[in-house]
Each structure stands twice: as structure tokens, then as C-alpha cells.
Structure 1
Amino acid sequence: MRLLYIGAESGTSLQRAAAFGRIGYDVLHLSPYAHLPPHWAPWLNRAGGPGIDRLVAKGLGRRIGEQHFDFATVDCGDVVGPAALNVIRAVASIVVNYNADNPYLNPSSERLRWSIFHRTLPHYDLVVAVRRNGIEEMMARRGARRIETIWQCADEVVHRPLSPALEEESRWSSEVVFVGTWMPGRGAFMARLIERGVPLAIHGSRWKRAPEFRLLEPFIRSDHLEGFDYTRTIAEAKIALVLLNGQNADLHTTRSAEIPAIGTAMCAPRTPHHQRLYKEGEEAVFFDGADDCADACKRLLADDSRRQTIAGAGHRRTFANGTYNEILARRIVDQVADMKRGGAL
């Protein structure tokens, strides 16, 4: 079986493509960004990316050639417009979109980034999105036809506990860690944790933009992390924090699956999604605001036995939740098979 996978050749997109390979698909993974000019992102965000669809269509057409596939998956799809989708559909009778972001808000919180995606959305055979309040209605209003909603996923290979030989003290070790990009509000949250005496380590991009940067700077360990560096940084922390992107209406995020999968105790906002995924105080700890987070972290750091018990229980719960990429891949494959049986081509 052959799959055409259109998505970034890095990060979680690369992990999802690899998961399809592990469940038995011969995957041709092509990046739609490969032949775009260096400053395509501001061009898309500020002007809606006129001409990007044509460039992507041309680049994909050259690389696909005369090959044919059982189906295609477009990961994200921010630069895949109707012209590019026509190229994909010529070689794959069913085309699926998976988008872990939230391009369905009206108005969008991200300027014009999703302009191309919105034009293409009604033409996908299946659209897979992350669970959020009212997401199905938002998707339908944007023109999505067949809709599937899922929990964010960790990866079976990338996000797993480290072997004991790798658990020695290193420059990645920390008491409490947050791995993520700066966004408005996050600087103030971290500053409050520091003021409350939480032994914090921060990894991620854009933190120099934080108004509180001078206070935060001594606690910032590195820029953006991926792959093993990301996993090791979380695995070598006693507690890992989850913060949500309010502009995306998130009630959980990839960290909500990845941190327990790696085997570290998770401290996350108290939301209906987190409360549904994990038993509070047994499989994860939750907070309402920075002061509550600081108190929760201090209690866990003072009780190694309880912290380790929560980390182990949270790890086991990820398997019961099924929040892994191979399970997501099989779910998409089942939907495609159902469409083929029903003649939805």
C-alpha cells in the first residue's frame, strides 16, 4: 500500500509520516515548502500568499511524476491550495487533511495565514482536527465535509522513557521544565513561578520578546528543541509543565500526551480535557493560575515517592487513552477504507 504524505519534514509532521510507515505503508513524504522562497511565511501571514499555491503545485507535480497512491494525507495544509490539491488528487483518489492547529476560528487569530487552507478545505475527502469546544460546527461552517476529531498524540518511538543509562545528571537535567515557544502571557506566568521560588528551566524560541525577559534570561536554557533533545529535556526533569494557547481555544495540547508518554510527572492547566484524559492527583496534577501551579510543583518536589507514582500512572494512562501516532494513523486508514467501501470517491 502506498501513501503520499505532504507535510513538513520535521517536528510532529515527520513523526506522523513515520508512524504510517511503521503500520505498513510505503510512504512518499514530500514537503510543500521545499520550493518556496525564503520569506514565504510573512508573505502568507500578511498578504494571504498570492502565488504560493501555484509554486507548490508545480513543485509537487515535478516530484510526484507518474506515481500513484492508495490515498494522500496533507499535514497542516497552510500552503496547499486548490491547484496543489488537484495535482495530489490526480495520483490519489482520496485526500485527507490533518491539522493540529486551529484554522477554523472566525475571525482568525493569525492574520491571513489560513487563507489558502480555507479555499481548499471543502475539497478534502476527510478533515481530521484536534478536539476543541464547538470545533465540528466551526469546521462545517468553513466547508469541511467528512469530519473526524482526535486527541493530540505522542509518538511511540520519539516520546518514551529513557533507558536507565541515559538518566544520569546532565546539562539537560532540571527540577521543573517548560519546553515551548513564548506567547503573550507566558512571560508573566513564568515570572510569577520564579518569584514564588520554583526551580525553573525554560527551553524554546522567541523568549527574548517577553517583556519580562531580563528576569527570565537566567532560566532560559536553550532555543527550540526537537527529537531526542526534546525528549531528553523532559525525561530529565522531575516535573514538566503544560501551558495552553488561548488564541487557539486549546483545552489540551501535544505536551498533554507527550510528557506522560515520556514518563515525567505532568503539571497542566485544569481543563475539562485534561480532567477527562487523566485522574487529577493520581495521573497528573492540575492548576488554576501561576500561584496554584507554583504550589503544586513545590508539593511534588517535596514528595519524590508521590511524584514518581503520578509519573508512572500517567504513563500507563497514555496507552489506555490511545494518544499515539500509530493509533491515529490506523484510525485515518480505517476512515479511508470506509470511504472506499461506500464509494465516496
Structure 2
Amino acid sequence: MAKILYLGNDHPSTTSSHRANALRRLGHVVKVFDIDEMIGNLTLSRYLEPLHFRTGYSFLQNRVTKWTKKVVENNRGADLIWVNSGDKLGPRSMRELKKIGVPIVLYNNDDPTGGRDGGRFNSLIKALPYYDLCAVMRETNVDEFKSKGAKNVMRVWMSYDEILHKPYTSHADIPHDFKTDIVFIGTWMRHEKRDEFLLELIRGGLGLSIYGDRWKKSTHFKELQPYYKGKSLSGSNYVAAIQGAKICLGLLSKGNRDLHTQRSLEVPFAGGLLCAERTSEHLDLYEEGKDAVFWSDAKECIKVCRWLIDKDSHRKKIVYNGMQRVRSNKVGNEDVCEQILKEVESLKTNVVLR
């Protein structure tokens, strides 16, 4: 059992808090310091948040460092520091954390060296040499992090949560409003053309339900509006929307250089049929046609969905196989956290941490 200082977001609906809870389920004592809440108090206005985002929170570093000092002063008995995302912590804050004298792990499921988010990760990139281990989601991040000074970098899969994404025991328990043919759960993103893709599916005669934030910003929202069911989902509603749909679309972020996403794991675990873009990583995770279905463009997606919609028994086989495969892949939050902690122990044994 380790005493872990967890610097991240502790709001129940966030993936950060899910990982903190996974560490607790593994038997560790986890003390969370919500840096996002502190930053929210500092920005004072939603109008300032975009400025801080684009500048890598550089104008807030003095106050972030003061906050970090307080964390250090009161927690010198910790065994490990786990930093989620790390976009708010610059070199000065990291030097304060190093004073505790324990390994510091960075877990970041974004693409900090990919450039999609402009200067958001400027402070993080400068701070990479201070981490003892960095866990990243993309193979390309490994060498890029090392080129920025990171000492030890491991690549892990994104993950589902063993508790939060547990499927309903009976399909009859799923609220009727979430039962639909095809669902997409995700955010509208500028330049990603998700709206154009979904519109092509609609024009191809497919019945869609769309959930997520910022869709009103789409220039195609007037046409998409009849299919838009509401903002982002979490908890049991999120699982209900996945499990209640015949087919669940998995769209990637090209700007984030995605070859798989959290949805790629959450959908099969929660009892949904994953219908996603064909990539090398999706093909590593699942056998096509058996555990999930894939496509290369909207036309192929339409063809695949049309073929599956009325084939109940075939869909159920894919759902069952996908649920078994994703569990055997060991890509739950507990699985991934345990992999990271084992790597920390391995580095300590080999006297790599210093």
C-alpha cells in the first residue's frame, strides 16, 4: 500500500477522478489536490480561461508555484506523486514537488507534443525533465517526450473504468429514451469535420442520436438539430446511451493524432457495438467483424451500419465478443494504473529514478 499525492481534477464526472478511485481500489491511500479547481478560482472569469489555455498557463505560474509549495509543506510522508495532465505545472512547481523526494509520475492522455491545442502544454513541456516517469497514449509521443528531456517514458492504452462503465444487468432496465439505432457521443471540434461526417450518414438514411457539447457551433447545426439529443453524458446515462444503441460510432481526433480513444474501450466494456475508423491500433485491440466493426470513410460506414441494423443476432454476437475481448486486453483503469506503478517499482529497482 502506497501513500499517493494525486494532483488532478477530483470532480466525480471526470476521467481524472476515475483514475484516483482506481488507485484506491488497488489498495492505495490517495490524497487528491484539485489543481483545476484552484486554477478556476485564479482565472476569475470565463473570458480569461482561453487566454491562459493558449499561453500554457504561463501568467499563472507564480500562484501555481505557491499552491504547490503548500502541498509539499503538508505532505512530506508520501510515497509517490501522480500528476494527471500536468498542463498547469511548470518547472518551478516541479522543483517544489521534487523536495518531497519521491518518484513523480505524469499521466497525460492528450497529445502535448502534437500541436493541436496551440500553446496549452508549453509549461508542461518545459517541466518534462523533472518527471521520473511519463505515461503517454501514443507511440509517437514516446520519442517526442524524450527529445524534450523526459527521462523515462512508457506508452499505455487509454482505458475504461471498471465501476463507472459497468453495463446494465438487463437491457430492459435501460431507459427507453436511450434506445436508438446509432449513437454518437462526443464534442463538436473545429476543423475535425465530425459534423460533415455525421451529416453524410444522415443523408444516407441512417437514424442517429447525437450527444455532446458545442454542437451549436457547427455551421451544419440546423440540419443536425433534429438528431441532437443533448449535452455530454456521464455515469449511468452514458452507459445507457451506449448499451441502448444498436451501433455506437467511434470518431477520432485527427488533430490529436488519435489511432484509438477512450470511447474505443468504454463502448465494448459497457455493452455497446463499436463501429469506428479502421486504424492499426483498433485492429490491435479487436478482430474486425468479430469484436467490433470498422470503416475507412463515411460511405463504408453507411454500408456497414445498414448491413448490421436489422441483424439482431449478429450484432449481439459482436457485442458479446467485444465485451470479452476488451476485458482480456487488460485496459481498465485499474489495469493501466497497476502497469504504471509496476514500472515505477522496476525503475526504482534498477536505480533509474534519481
CA distance in 2 between counterparts of 1:328 and 1:174 reads 32
Q: Secondary structure at the match of 1:171?
A: helix
Normalising by structure 2, we get a TM-score of: 0.92
CA distance in 1 between counterparts of 2:23 and 2:151 reads 24
Deviation at 1:237, TM superposition (A): 1.2
Amino acid at match of 2:135: V
Structure 2 residue 212 is matched with structure 1 residue 208? no
Q: Which runs of 5+ in 1 are unaligned?
A: none
Match of 2:125 among 87, 106, 118: 118
Deviation at 1:138, TM superposition (A): 1.6
Structure 2 residue 34 is matched with structure 1 residue 26? no
CA distance in 1 between counterparts of 2:68 and 2:244 reads 41
CA distance in 1 between counterparts of 2:172 and 2:66 reads 45
Would you say how many aligned residue pairs link Structure 1 and Structure 2?
342
Residues 160 and 261 in structure 1, CA contact (< 8 A), matched pair in contact too: yes
Amino acid at match of 1:82: P
CA distance in 1 between counterparts of 2:348 and 2:56 reads 34
Deviation at 1:92, TM superposition (A): 5.0
Task: Describe the superposition over 1:209-264 as per-residue Cα deviations: whole angstroms up to 9, x where unpaired.
Answer: 11111000111111122222222221211111100000111111101100001011
Task: Describe the superposition over 1:253-297 as per-residue Cα deviations: whole angstroms up to 9, x where unpaired.
Answer: 101100001011110001111111101000000011111111111
Match of 1:285 among 290, 293, 298: 293
Instruction: Tell me which residue corresponds to 1:128.
Output: 135
Structure 2 residue 20 is matched with structure 1 residue 17? yes
Residues 32 and 80 in structure 1, CA contact (< 8 A), matched pair in contact too: no
Deviation at 1:166, TM superposition (A): 5.8
CA distance in 2 between counterparts of 1:63 and 1:135 reads 29
Instruction: Tell me which residue corresponds to 1:267.
Output: 275
CA distance in 1 between counterparts of 2:334 and 2:175 reads 32
Question: Which consecutive aligned stretches of 4+ in structure 1 deviate over 4 angstroms post-superposition?
Answer: none
CA distance in 1 between counterparts of 2:10 and 2:118 reads 25
Amino acid at match of 1:187: D
Match of 1:82 among 78, 86, 91: 91
Between stretches 311-320 and 28-37, larger displacement belongs to 28-37
Amino acid at match of 1:265: L
CA distance in 2 between counterparts of 1:58 and 1:231 reads 40
CA distance in 1 between counterparts of 2:81 and 2:121 reads 20
Q: Secondary structure at the match of 1:157?
A: coil
Q: Secondary structure at the match of 1:116?
A: helix
CA distance in 2 between counterparts of 1:7 and 1:136 reads 22
Amino acid at match of 1:129: V
Deviation at 1:304, TM superposition (A): 0.4
Q: Secondary structure at the match of 1:128?
A: strand
Deviation at 1:55, TM superposition (A): 1.9
CA distance in 2 between counterparts of 1:329 and 1:205 reads 29
Amino acid at match of 2:95: N
Structure 2 residue 271 is matched with structure 1 residue 256? no
Between stretches 258-267 and 81-90, larger displacement belongs to 81-90
Task: Describe the superposition over 1:62-94 as per-residue Cα deviations: whole angstroms up to 9, x where unpaired.
Answer: 355422211111010110112222332223511
CA distance in 1 between counterparts of 2:19 and 2:32 reads 10
Residues 33 and 56 in structure 1, CA contact (< 8 A), matched pair in contact too: no
Residues 104 and 142 in structure 1, CA contact (< 8 A), matched pair in contact too: no
Residues 105 and 132 in structure 2, CA contact (< 8 A), matched pair in contact too: yes
**Alpha carbons of 1:195 and 1:23: their partners in 2 closer, same or farther (altered >3 Å)?**
same
Alignment of 1:136-151 (within 5 A): 136-151=142-157
The share of aligned pairs that are identical, in percent, is 32
CA distance in 1 between counterparts of 2:142 and 2:38 reads 33
Task: Describe the superposition over 1:305-328 as per-residue Cα deviations: whole angstroms up to 9, x where unpaired.
Answer: 000100010010012211111011
Instruction: Tell me which residue corresponds to 1:222.
Output: 230
CA distance in 2 between counterparts of 1:296 and 1:157 reads 31
- What's the RMSD between the two structures over aligned residues? 1.6
CA distance in 2 between counterparts of 1:199 and 1:7 reads 38
Alignment of 1:1-345 (within 5 A): 1-10=2-11, 11-36=14-39, 37-38=43-44, 39=46, 41-63=49-71, 65-67=73-75, 68-91=77-100, 93-105=102-114, 108-132=115-139, 134-164=140-170, 167-183=173-189, 184=191, 185-343=193-351, 344-345=353-354
CA distance in 1 between counterparts of 2:172 and 2:259 reads 33
Between stretches 251-260 and 163-172, larger displacement belongs to 163-172
CA distance in 2 between counterparts of 1:21 and 1:46 reads 34
Task: Describe the superposition over 1:157-204 as per-residue Cα deviations: whole angstroms up to 9, x where unpaired.
Answer: 111211217634422222110000012300000100110111100000
Residues 30 and 60 in structure 1, CA contact (< 8 A), matched pair in contact too: no
